[in-house]
Amino acid sequence: MLFIFQKYERALIYGLIGWILAINNRDMVFWLRPERDHYLGPLIACKIGVEILSVMVFLLWYIYMEGMLSTLKLIGLSFIVFVSLNMLWNFFAPRGGVLLISIVGLIAVPVLLSALIRIVRFRNST
């Protein structure tokens, strides 16, 4: 079991990041409604924009480090992880869970991206 995780850890982590960003985008649509009276909308939009930009920069760096074929494999496998997580979320979604994922995503996305960078750098150095 551990070997399977080690083999596909990059796709699992990248798929989890994509799923968190998708949940955050759904949450952003809720917060940016015109009838809502608050100033959190631009802050949340900025946060999600920075996260998406950092994921894109990581993808470009991954192309540079691993090549295009490995990047396409990563995107394909992480898409499978993303769809699986989305189906599980739609089946088991708790009330208020979107807000929880959004708040956890504030910390989880940078931590997961730094873990991916460390994994890629460690594998290439050995």
Residue range 53-94, pLDDT digits in tens? 999 999 999 999 989 998 999 899 999 999 998 888 878 777
pLDDT the model gives residue 107 = 85
Cα(74)–Cα(44) distance, rounded to whole angstroms?
A: 28
Tokens of 29: 């649509």
Task: Characterise 95 by phi-psi region: left (phi > 0), alpha (psi -120 to 50), beta (else).
Answer: beta
26 falls within a domain: yes
The count of domains in the chain is: 1
**Do 15 and 85 form a contact (C-beta atoms < 8 A)?**
yes
Asked whether residue 75 is domain-assigned, the answer is yes
Does a structural domain hold residue 20?
yes
Burial class (CB in 10 A: 0-12, 13-18, 19+), 95: exposed
Residue 107's domain comprises 13-125
Residue 7 within a domain: no
Residue 2 located in a structural domain: no
Structure confidence at residue 109 as a pLDDT band (50, 70, 90): confident
- Tell me the percentage of the chain whose pLDDT exceeds 70: 76
Classify residue 8: in a domain, yes or no: no
Distance between CA 22 and CA 26 in Å, rounded?
Answer: 6
d(CA 71, CA 59): 8
| 95 domain-assigned | yes
**Residue 50 resides in a domain:** yes
